[in-house]
Amino acid sequence: MRRRTFIAGAGTAVAATAGCVGYTGGNEGDGVVTVATYESFVDSEESIGPWLKENFEADHDAEIEFTVPSSGINQYIRRKQEGADIDADLFVGLNVDELIRIDDELDEQLFDSIAGDLERSDRVIDELRFDPDDRAIPYDTGYISLVYDEREVEPTTFEDLTDEANRGELITQNAQESDPGLAFLLWTVHEFGADGYLDYWQQLEDNEVRILGSWSDAYNAYTNEAADMVVSYSTDQVYNGDTPRHQVGFLNDQGYAQPEGMARFADAPDADAATDFIEFMLQPEVQGVIAEKNVQFPAVDDAELDDEFASLAHVPPEPVTFGYDELAGNLDGWVDEWARQIVE
């Protein structure tokens, strides 16, 4: 997940040019699979990108080239609108809100449906699928939860966050700027409904919730003990261990699922090799490595995980999420109304 930009281990950073990060050269259609992704996927030797490149190339007659577009998926939306070449085969790191934005802003398909081309697509956990047209195939998921200091607080319900005893003790992220911040907002919509979530947020604001820009802003503040609860991921103990200040809290026994997907561009220069790479990403042993290096959960139910990871990465008793059909036509309105009332 993109939060790794803050907590990635030391390693050799890849070179950056013209707003992109690249590993290898190569021309389109010559056996090079160009994979567009986000920075923390490839920003050090500890990231998952270098491992995928090395191991895929060892068994396939193709070369992987990673590129990090400076404006993410928006770069490809603009290029499609302008009729420019996409110059990439795959996008890895696609969220449901980005898929909705693509469909809202483009008349032509940016990605093509791929499930029928994959042998392993039926192994993806059904609850993680977020694209009704099978363009985006999940490869991992996170669960948004609370991380808290059990010596000071014990949050178990949404109502606990509005209790006077917890005044000023919750840090979250801006839903307009942060993936976990948006997920937490959607979690409250899921819990209180479109007619009630703003009332709940008003109670949070009255209880002095702190809304910071990004996940790293919020987590840094929590690390510096600015408060005793922060919205984060249920894999927190994989990095920090099972310590008093790193307890994972599932409000109402829930956690908000935030799957990431990979999608093949409709005009992929090397569509067959791109499909091979997606198949490779879904192999059980590869899924295990993706989960451990991305510190998230696999998208298939037979991934090979080591025992330590499995013991420290917590799955909520009741995962909740919104799918494409529930968010389409509603997402922007929910976020805009929240921003007008709470942030502005």
pLDDT, tens digit, 9 for 90 and up, residues 193-202: 999 999 999 9
| Domains of the chain by start residue, with CATH | 4-141+259-312 (3.40.190.10), 143-256+322-343 (3.40.190.10)
The pLDDT score that the predictor gives to residue 27 is 36
pLDDT, tens digit, 9 for 90 and up, residues 41-71: 999 989 999 999 999 999 999 999 999 999 9
Instruction: List CB contacts of 166: < 8 A, sequence separation 6 or more.
Output: 153, 155, 160, 207, 228, 229
The position carrying tokens 């056996």 is 31
Range 226-245 average pLDDT: 97
DSSP 143: E
3-state SS, residue 315? coil
pLDDT, tens digit, 9 for 90 and up, residues 81-95: 999 999 999 999 999
pLDDT, tens digit, 9 for 90 and up, residues 251-299: 999 999 999 999 999 989 999 999 999 999 999 999 999 999 999 999 9
Tally Cβ neighbours within 10 Å of residue 235: 25
pTM: 0.88
The pLDDT score that the predictor gives to residue 2 is 46
The pLDDT score that the predictor gives to residue 30 is 61
Q: Which two tokens stand for residue 95?
A: 């969220």
The pLDDT score that the predictor gives to residue 21 is 36
E-state strands within the chain: 16-17, 20-21, 32-36, 63-67, 90-94, 137-148, 170-173, 210-212, 229-233, 247-249, 254-264, 297-298, 318-320
